[in-house]
């Protein structure tokens, strides 16, 4: 598994400092000779970290993420409640697209562009369109913290209404990105500690789609797709940025629901 270098160093420090701090707290509460006990405990923790081949810091990092991941999976399984999805999907040709009740009239009118993007994808990269059908992926349009997201517990590709104004080809590239996550999830390769690598693979898939656009003579569209890839590479996936994005998405959804109910 993969940890950022800063995370790995942080948890190594925790492994070294925690036993010493715990020992000092024990001595302060219970009493007893200090001696070299803290030093030996720190060395024992360091030896355990080395003996585990780096697995101990990884397990500590995963233990911190586990509750957050559990909540995300729970919300994903209840995606219709989470995104205030309308009872019935909007049908555009062969595609059924679920929509949030928070969408405005203009956004609802633009939902058909998702279907057009899927049709364009079937022409430019039939294998990617077949992948989505084979994996049984659903589609929804709802306020999100990012342009799009894949929810493994629901096999759902959710698209933010902000990107419905993009070109059909750019929208198709966003779907390609998320379809790569769906493929990795079907092979049980999606994991919070592999996020950087899975995002890199998804961006590579989108670059291949950009090459397909170039072969089709769509140079301007291919440049826009490349811009989206670069933007994805620069995106902040830290918890602070995610929390801020999630709060903004919830605010947009609440505001949309209020306006539609008024």
pLDDT digits (tens, 9 = 90+) for 62-92: 667 778 778 888 888 999 999 999 999 999 9
Same-domain check for residues 17 and 107: no
Tell me: pLDDT of 142 over 70. Answer: yes
Which whole-number Å values give the CA distances from 145 to 75, 94, 135, 215, in the listed order?
14, 28, 24, 33
Q: Which residues are paired to 139 by β-bridges?
A: 97, 157
Give the per-residue pLDDT at 196: 83
Q: Please, is 21 exposed, middle or buried when counting C-beta atoms within 10 Å of its C-beta (0-12, 13-18, 19+)?
A: middle
Q: Give all strands of the β-sheet with 95-99 in edge-to-edge order.
A: 90-92, 95-99, 138-141, 156-159, 148-151
Of residues 54 and 27, more confidence is placed in 27
What is the SS3 assignment for 197?
helix
Contacts of 128 (CB under 8 A, 6+ apart): 121, 175, 176, 179, 205, 209
What phi and psi, each to the nearest 5 degrees, are found at residue 47? -65, -40
What DSSP state is assigned to residue 165? G
Q: Are residues 94 and 207 in the same domain?
A: yes
What pLDDT, on the 0 to 100 scale, is given for residue 92?
92
Q: How confident is the model at residue 5 (pLDDT cuts 50, 70, 90)?
A: low
Q: Which tokens hold the place of 186? A: 């079907």
The verdict on pTM exceeding 0.75 is: yes
Q: Which of 76, 105, 132 is the last residue of a domain?
A: 76
Domain count, the chain: 2
Q: Are residues 161 and 255 in the same domain?
A: yes
Q: Grade residue 188 by pLDDT with cuts at 50, 70 and 90.
A: confident
**pLDDT level of residue 201 (50, 70, 90 thresholds):** very high
* pLDDT computed for residue 57 by the predictor: 67
Of 48, 76, 104, the residue at which a domain comes to its end is 76
Are 84 and 33 part of one and the same domain?
Answer: no
């Amino acid at each position: 598994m993969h940890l950022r270098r800063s995370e790995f160093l942080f948890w190594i420090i925790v492994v070294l400092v925690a036993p010493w701090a715990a020992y000092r707290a024990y001595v302060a509460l219970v009493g007893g000779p200090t001696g070299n006990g803290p030093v030996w405990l720190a060395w024992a923790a360091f030896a355990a970290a080395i003996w585990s081949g780096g697995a101990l810091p990884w397990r500590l990092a995963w233990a911190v993420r586990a509750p957050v991941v559990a909540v995300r999976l729970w919300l994903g399984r209840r995606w219709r409640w989470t995104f205030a999805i309308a009872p019935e999907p909007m049908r555009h040709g062969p595609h059924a697209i679920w929509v949030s009740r928070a969408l405005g009239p203009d956004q609802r009118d633009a939902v058909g562009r998702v279907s057009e993007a899927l049709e364009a994808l079937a022409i430019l990269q039939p294998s990617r369109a077949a992948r989505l059908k084979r994996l049984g992926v659903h589609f929804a349009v709802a306020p999100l913290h990012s342009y799009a997201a894949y929810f493994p517990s629901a096999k759902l590709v959710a698209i933010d209404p902000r990107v419905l104004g993009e070109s059909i080809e750019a929208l198709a590239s966003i779907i390609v990105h998320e379809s790569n996550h769906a493929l990795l999830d079907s092979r049980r390769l999606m994991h919070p500690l592999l996020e950087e690598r899975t995002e890199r693979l998804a961006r590579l898939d989108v670059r291949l789609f950009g090459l397909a656009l170039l072969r089709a003579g769509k140079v301007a569209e291919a440049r826009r797709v490349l811009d989206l890839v670069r933007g994805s590479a620069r995106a902040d996936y830290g918890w602070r940025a995610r929390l801020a994005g999630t709060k903004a998405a919830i605010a947009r959804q609440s505001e949309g629901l209020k306006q539609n109910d008024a």
